[in-house]
Amino acid sequence: MLEVKNLTKYYGDLLAVDELSFRIEEGQFATLLGPSGCGKSTTLHVIAGLIDATSGSVHLRGKEVSDVPPYERNIGLVFQHSALFPHMTVEENLRYGLKMQDFDGDHDRQIEKYLEMVQMLEHADHKPDELSGGQQRRISFARALVYEPDILLLDEPLTGLDRVLREDMRNEIRSIQQEVDVTTLHVTHDQSEALSMSDQVIVMNEGRKEQEGHPTELYEQPKTEFVAEFLGQSTKFEGELVDANTPVIRSGSREIHIETNGDTEAVAGDDISTYIRPEEIDVHPTPQANGDTNTFSGRITDVEYLGHRAELEIELDDGTKVIAFSQTSDDLSVGKEVSVQFDPDKVICV
Ligand SMILES: Nc1ncnc2c1ncn2[C@@H]1O[C@H](COP(=O)(O)OP(=O)(O)O)[C@@H](O)[C@H]1O
Ligand SMILES: [Mg+2]
């Protein structure tokens, strides 16, 4: 449905997007995820035809669109702080979109259908300033979908809403997207938003693609330090591979046992970063022998109660800080001596 090939964009001397390529299949919900300034909005604007690429191309339904003006690309847009026309009612806002896109079909029916979908039918006669922030956002979605675009582009569409509303709207956007079955490219810097909503995530850093894949694949098998650190929490141990046949990383005075699936090209002496997710770490309330596999003693330095679980910070004997989760029923408090343990096959190696 959408393919971006070797997209590069310079603003003067500044390289904003660097040889970016990806494709999105029909009906998929894809997210460009990356820190602020990594080139996400620039990419979206090029796809929408609002700015020109320096080089590279955009293809919609297999057809190159670089010379097609924005209004002929049949794209729906919801941008950060997307503004509705303030002098128009909700209904008129949607009608305007249908008219601009020259929608061939019953305009009244479309407006009713999409206002109903976002649960705003009863507000059809209201002006935008009579609506809450969340309601305005719903209208922005309805306005982007009402003319049945081939592809929906969402640029940080939940920015500015409070946390609870953001989480509700994530689910709602996702279910509307599935109902309408519209191919969607979403942009966010919020990793939990990306992981929870998407079929496919493209992680960007400094204008380049770091890695792409299904959310679980990115979380469980990050291929770069950037992806491992940007998605989710983890404890990092840096070290070097002892020898290629012995899956052990020496990190200071510590040995981290890992599991290799045989296809590693690492050789003895290679620097390797290992990451362990907090949910993969067992915390034992009684210190265990330091000689056991991936078992290290330390002391709890922080406990953050999160309702269903607690997040612990544990300082190991050499000062390394470990982040682990525990059940809140466990008797674990600051100052307590504990040991942490994790399985070799849970260690992510980058
Ligand atoms: N119109 C512009 N003129 C000059 N530089 C820009 C312009 N728009 C964005 N940039 C720069 O390009 C880089 C990428 O910006 P942007 O695509 O907005 O990133 P993101 O959406 O990921 O935060 C940033 O360094 C930003 O400052
Ligand atoms: Mg942006």
Distance (Å, whole) CA 295 – CA 33: 34
Sign, Cα dihedral of 91, 97, 102, 106: negative
Q: Which residues contact 172 (CB under 8 A, 6 or more apart)?
A: 118
The single-letter DSSP state of residue 243 is E
Residue 123 is predicted with a pLDDT of 95
Residue 65 is predicted with a pLDDT of 94
102 alpha carbon – ligand 2 mean position (Å): 29
Give 98's pLDDT tier (boundaries 50, 70, 90): very high
Note whether 146 and 98 are within 8 A (CB): yes
* Closest listed residue to residue 79, CA positions, set 146, 150, 157, 138: 157
pLDDT, mean of residues 4-26: 97
Would the pLDDT of 317 be above 90? no
> Which ligand lies nearest to the CA atom of residue 155 in the structure?
2
Residue 135 is predicted with a pLDDT of 92
Domains and CATH numbers, the chain: 2-225 (3.40.50.300), 234-349 (2.40.50.140)
C-beta 267 within 6 A of ligand 1: no
C-beta 41 within 6 A of ligand 1: yes
The single-letter DSSP state of residue 121 is G
Listed in sequence order, the DSSP H helices in the chain are: 40-48, 90-100, 107-117, 133-145, 163-180, 191-197, 215-220, 225-230
C-beta 11 within 6 A of ligand 1: yes
Is beta strand 271-276 parallel, antiparallel or unpaired with respect to 321-327?
unpaired
Would the pLDDT of 289 be above 90? no
Residue 276 is predicted with a pLDDT of 96
Residue 43 is predicted with a pLDDT of 98
pLDDT, mean of residues 15-40: 97
- To the nearest 10 degrees (0 to 180), the angle between helices 90-100 and 107-117 is 130
pLDDT, mean of residues 62-68: 92
Which CA distances in Å does 178 have to 26, 28, 169, 198? 11, 9, 14, 11
153 alpha carbon – ligand 2 mean position (Å): 12
Residue 169's identity, in one-letter code, is M
Instruction: Report the side by side order of strands in the sheet with 63-64.
Output: 14-24, 2-11, 55-60, 63-64
Nearest-CA residue for ligand 1 atom 3 is 11
C-beta 35 within 6 A of ligand 1: no
Nearest-CA residue for ligand 1 atom 24 is 37
pLDDT, mean of residues 310-322: 93
Residue 282 is predicted with a pLDDT of 93
Would the pLDDT of 55 be above 90? yes
Is beta strand 235-243 parallel, antiparallel or unpaired with respect to 246-251?
antiparallel
Give 260's pLDDT tier (boundaries 50, 70, 90): confident
233 alpha carbon – ligand 2 mean position (Å): 23
C-beta 42 within 6 A of ligand 1: yes
Note whether 77 and 29 are within 8 A (CB): no
251 alpha carbon – ligand 1 mean position (Å): 39
Q: Which residues contact 89 (CB under 8 A, 6 or more apart)?
A: 124, 125, 126, 127
pLDDT in tens, 320-349: 999 999 886 667 889 999 999 999 999 999
C-beta 36 within 6 A of ligand 1: yes
C-beta 14 within 6 A of ligand 1: yes
Which CA distances in Å does 7 have to 29, 116, 168, 350? 20, 38, 34, 27
Would the pLDDT of 208 be above 70? yes
C-beta 90 within 6 A of ligand 1: no
- Mutate-to-test residue for ligand 1 from 10, 13, 14, highest number of ligand atoms within 8 A of CB: 14
Question: For ligand 1, what atom is nearest to the CA of residue 207?
Answer: 14
Listed in sequence order, the DSSP H helices in 181-314 are: 191-197, 215-220, 225-230
